[in-house]
């Protein structure tokens, strides 16, 4: 059964130095508050898995949390580069980072295999690309029935999956809806999971056709953090802060500007600040 905990307690219990951690949310519902809490608690040597590293991993990588990144698209959507990720890969700052690079399809299949208790996933992918030459985790096998060449990737089995969801009920069942990404797969592939939610309600009131409901017993801890996905968004609560995604380009370009921003907006703050930030996006 999920334990309701303040975010700092949940992160401190569930996320350890050296863990493999997946913070998921495909553009929507990105768990920024949890990412910031990990940074504040100074976690290091993490292997970070995420399809689209987005600003949250740019911030964690720039803060020195990561040893390795497993990903498929590392840009600032519609804006350009993730400068902290680039600085780590191109110049080893603040520390060198190992990368394991996939396609979106490969990443989604790897989570799904993890959730299904499979050692690996196979699918029709990676045809003609040079990615297998730089990523030994991408291999090929022949279909035993047709001989067709299939790509094979190892399953993701993160130590911890962290997601943000719209709401939980009092028993700790969790609902997310809108663009649901790979969060169900991420949670079910992980040894432990942490969910931040906008609110706790008596009744989940499942009405939307594509709602994902995760039963309480698939979740280790729930932390109530209104606005916890900002500057990403929570469908039905607040919208994506596109202007902040644009502004991040200048903030992250320069190491010093980045450090000042992180001190002011992350290190010297707590999870409570997110509610106020998200309110400006409603």
Q: Site for another protein (CB under 8 A): which residue of 68, 86, 139, 255?
A: 86
Exactly one of 19, 126, 156, 168 binds another protein (CB under 8 A); that residue is 126
| Pair type for strands 120-123 and 46-49 | unpaired
Q: What is the DSSP letter of 211?
A: -
Quick one: tokens of 171?
A: 């028993």
> Which residues between 5 and 44 bind another protein (CB under 8 A)?
26-28
Q: Residue 114, SS3? A: helix
Is residue 165 within 8 Å of 204, Cβ to Cβ? no
Q: Which residues does 132 contact at the CB level (< 8 Å), separation at least 6? A: 126, 138, 139, 140
Binding mask 139-168 for another protein (x = CB under 8 A): ---------xx-------------------
Structure-token match 């964690």, residue found: 60
Q: Is 130 in the site for another protein (CB under 8 A)?
A: yes
**Greatest Cα pair distance in the chain:** 59
Taking CB under 8 A as the binding criterion, the range among 14-22, 38-46, 181-189, 215-223 that sits at the site for another protein is 181-189
Q: 19, 58, 185, 198: which one contacts another protein (CB under 8 A)? A: 185
Which residue in 254, 251, 260, 174 sits closest to 219, CA to CA?
174
CB of 4 to another protein, least distance (A): 26
118 binds another protein (CB under 8 A): no
Block residue for tokens 């500057």: 231
Tokens 């450090």 — which residue?
A: 259
Question: From the CB of 141, what's the least distance to another protein, in Å?
Answer: 13
**Half-sphere exposure in the Cβ direction for 120 (13 Å, CA):** 12
| Least spacing, CB of residue 151 vs another protein, in Å | 9
Point out which residues bind another protein (CB under 8 A).
26-28, 51-52, 71-75, 77-79, 81-82, 85-86, 89-90, 101-105, 108-109, 111-112, 123-131, 134, 148-149, 178-182, 184-185, 209-210, 212, 230-231, 233, 235, 239-247, 265, 277, 280-281
């Amino acid at each position: 059964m999920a334990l309701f905990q303040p975010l700092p307690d949940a992160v401190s219990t569930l996320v350890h130095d050296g863990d493999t951690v997946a913070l998921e949310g495909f553009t929507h519902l990105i768990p920024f508050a949890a990412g910031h809490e990990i940074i504040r608690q100074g976690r290091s040597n993490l292997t970070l898995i995420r399809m689209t590293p987005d600003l949250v991993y740019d911030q964690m990588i720039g803060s020195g949390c990561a040893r390795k990144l497993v990903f498929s698209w590392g840009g600032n959507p519609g804006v350009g580069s993730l400068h902290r990720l680039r600085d780590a890969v191109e110049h080893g700052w603040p520390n060198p980072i190992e990368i394991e690079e996939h396609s979106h399809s490969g990443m989604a299949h790897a989570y799904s295999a993890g959730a299904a208790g499979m050692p690996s996933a196979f699918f029709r992918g990676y045809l003609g690309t040079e990615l297998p030459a730089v990523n030994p985790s991408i291999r090929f096998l022949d279909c035993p029935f047709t001989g067709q060449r299939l790509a094979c990737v190892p399953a993701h089995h993160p130590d911890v999956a962290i997601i943000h969801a719209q709401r939980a009920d009092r028993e700790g069942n969790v609902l997310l809806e809108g663009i649901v990404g790979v969060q169900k797969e991420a949670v079910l592939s992980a040894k432990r999971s942490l969910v931040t939610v906008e609110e706790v309600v008596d009744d989940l009131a499942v009405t939307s056709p594509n709602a994902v409901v995760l039963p309480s017993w698939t979740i280790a801890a729930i932390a109530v953090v209104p606005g916890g996905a900002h500057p990403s968004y929570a469908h039905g609560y607040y919208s994506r802060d596109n202007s902040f995604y644009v502004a991040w380009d200048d903030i992250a370009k320069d190491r010093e500007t980045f450090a000042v921003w992180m001190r002011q907006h992350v290190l010297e703050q707590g999870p409570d600040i997110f509610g106020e930030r998200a309110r400006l996006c409603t």
